[in-house]
Structure 1
Amino acid sequence: MKDNYEVTSRRIEITGLVEVLQEIVEDGSKMPFSKKILVDREEVNTILDEIIQSIPEDLRTAQWVLAEKDRILTEARTEYERTKAEVDRMMQEKVNNHDLVKEAEAKAQEILSKAQTEAKLVRLSARDYADSLLSDLETEIRKKNQEMMLSYKNLFEGFVQEYNKTFTSTSLTIKENIKELREMK
């Protein structure tokens, strides 16, 4: 239960860090006559470092889940082997009682089947958890990347328009000065 809480907490932490990064971009100082903004590079890099450090922790958690699955599977196999050995011993003692032997074999098969089912459920749960975690992370990163690319595109387009306007104005002033010089006598 505690581990599940920690995983959810880290997922919330990563999402929170991405939201803080978005706020930094949205709250950045706007440059006059432009759509550009200024952000604190160190602050942005710090948040990106925290995100990068959080991701391996989630991967370690997924690895722990897989290791736990292997441990449970090993325990189930051990229990199966122990039970099977016990059944074999019981069979040797009760060879004459055919019903007892059949009951023991059925119990051994039931234990094996149960262990295999539990192992499969743990393996599938671990895979689904890791898949879900990585899919959510990929979706969030793609979304933030698209938002940042759109922001940069808008900033660049604003810069180009401002530059073109300034260039046109300067060019017009130069032409007027040339004309004025040529008209001087």
Structure 2
Amino acid sequence: MDILNLLERIEDIIEEASKFPLSNKVMIDKDEILEVINEIRLKLPDEINRASWVAKERQRILNEAQSEADELIEKVQDQQRYLIEDNEITKQAQKHANQIIQEAERKANEMKFGAYSYSDEILSKLQEKIGEINNIIEQNREVLKNME
């Protein structure tokens, strides 16, 4: 029997006991009550130990849950830091890529301008040479005209 049953047994003994007339007092069997009280004393350490074990187990479970929660929070924070760092790396890489593109565009424009300038210079020289050749042709034609 557990302690609650033993306490109910004491209540039953008291309820079933003979009453003194005109009073609230009852006559009970001393040995029977002492036997139940003795059983309670014997069972009480078991109940206390069981309650203590339950309290310890509850605390262990709570500690374990807290530890798991802390570990999960740490993992989430690590992942968050990684994503933030990864995002920073991505931003820096994008910035660097933009700088490279701008530099390449600048160099391409310089090269294009240089090519135009070079082409213009070559064409100018060619035009001069053609002009000189044209002058020579005209002079030779004049000479041929005068030979007639």
Q: TM-score, normalised by structure 1?
A: 0.44
2:142 & 2:69 partners in 1: Cα distance? 107
**Structure 1 match to 2:93:** 130
2:71 aligned residue (108, 127, 130):
108
2:65 & 2:116 partners in 1: Cα distance? 75
State yes or no: 1:161 paired with 2:121: no
Partner SS state of residue 58, structure 2: coil
State yes or no: 1:173 paired with 2:136: yes
**Structure 1 match to 2:145:** 182
1:95 & 1:130 partners in 2: Cα distance? 53
Counterpart AA for 2:76: S
Gaps spanning 5+ residues in structure 2: where? Answer: 1-55
1:112 & 1:134 partners in 2: Cα distance? 32
Shift of 1:134: 2.3
1:171 & 1:148 partners in 2: Cα distance? 33
Which has the greater radius of gyration?
A: 2
**Structure 2 match to 1:120:** 83
Per mean C-alpha deviation after superposition, the further-off stretch among 101-110 and 153-162 is 101-110
Partner SS state of residue 96, structure 1: helix
Write out per-residue CA displacement over residues 47-84 of structure 1, whole angstroms, 9 at most, x where no aligned residue: xxxxxxxxxxxxxxxxxxxxxxxxxxxxxxxxxxxxxx
Q: How big is the alpha-carbon RMSD for the aligned residues of Structure 1 and Structure 2?
A: 2.0
State yes or no: 1:152 paired with 2:108: no
State yes or no: 1:96 paired with 2:58: yes
Shift of 1:169: 2.8
1:96 & 1:136 partners in 2: Cα distance? 61
Q: Which runs of 4+ in 1 moved over 3 A?
A: none
Gaps spanning 5+ residues in structure 1: where? Answer: 1-93
Percent of counterpart pairs with the same letter?
14
Counterpart AA for 1:146: N
1:108 & 1:180 partners in 2: Cα distance? 105
Flag the 1:150–1:95 CA change in 2: closer, same or farther, 3 A.
Answer: farther
Shift of 1:109: 1.8
Write out per-residue CA displacement over residues 92-128 of structure 1, whole angstroms, 9 at most, x where no aligned residue: xx64224333322321221111111111122222222
Equivalent pairs counted in the alignment come to 92
State yes or no: 1:141 paired with 2:104: yes
Write out per-residue CA displacement over residues 6-45 of structure 1, whole angstroms, 9 at most, x where no aligned residue: xxxxxxxxxxxxxxxxxxxxxxxxxxxxxxxxxxxxxxxx
Shift of 1:150: 0.5
Structure scoring higher RCO (CA < 8 A, sep ≥ 6) equals: 1
